[in-house]
Amino acid sequence: MKIRKRFAVFGSMVGIILVLMVAGIAVAGCGQNSGPFAGWFHRFHVSDRDMSGFILKRLDRKIKELSLTPTQKTKYDEFRAQLKAQMLAAKEDRKQFKEAVRDALAKESPDVAMLTAMMKKKIESASVTLQADLDLFASFYSTLDQGQKQKVIAGIQKRIAARDACREEGQ
């Protein structure tokens, strides 16, 4: 009976973790058919190891199309540096979180309440990070002229339309 109980607890924890991971991906906009890079992560099988490099290279290519002024370029460089630092910190944080969850689940009787609290804290910190990223973007966006802003908005609208089309296909 002890083994069955362990498997039941482990199975329910795995289910909770999977639901939270899927919710986190959806919130972060990093799913296959969502976010600003819809489908790219899946197509090129970018691993966590080089995800930040991939994202920054793609961002650099899109920014080149805007023909930034020197002042705007300086603001973009600040935005890019902060974004890179956040992504690298998030990578390390994810690694530590995975280890903590594995350690907690490896115990003979995992503390579900502690794991739930730990996951809630992780979701909350991810939300704070995403809000900070949005603030960084808004700060950079405010430096753009009207034509550049229209190009950025057109790109966002294009991505939204592509995501909507993929969702309609799936239904």
pLDDT at position 48:
55
pLDDT at position 29:
45
> What separation, in Å, do the N-terminal and C-terminal C-alpha atoms of the chain show?
42
DSSP letters for 35-79: STTTTHHHHHT--GGGHHHHHHHHHHHHHHTT---HHHHHHHHHH
**Number of neighbouring beta carbons within 10 Å of residue 109:** 9
Q: Look at residues 159, 170, 164, 169 and name the one whose alpha carbon lies nearest to residue 38.
A: 159
Q: pTM of this prediction?
A: 0.61
pLDDT at position 99:
92
Report how far residue 62's alpha carbon sits from residue 47's, in angstroms, rounded to the nearest whole number: 21
pLDDT at position 39:
52
> What is the chain's pLDDT, residue by residue, as a tens digit (171 residues)?
565 555 455 555 545 555 455 445 444 444 444 444 455 444 445 555 678 888 889 889 989 988 899 999 999 999 899 989 988 888 888 899 999 989 988 888 888 889 899 999 999 988 888 898 889 889 989 999 999 999 999 988 998 998 888 888 877
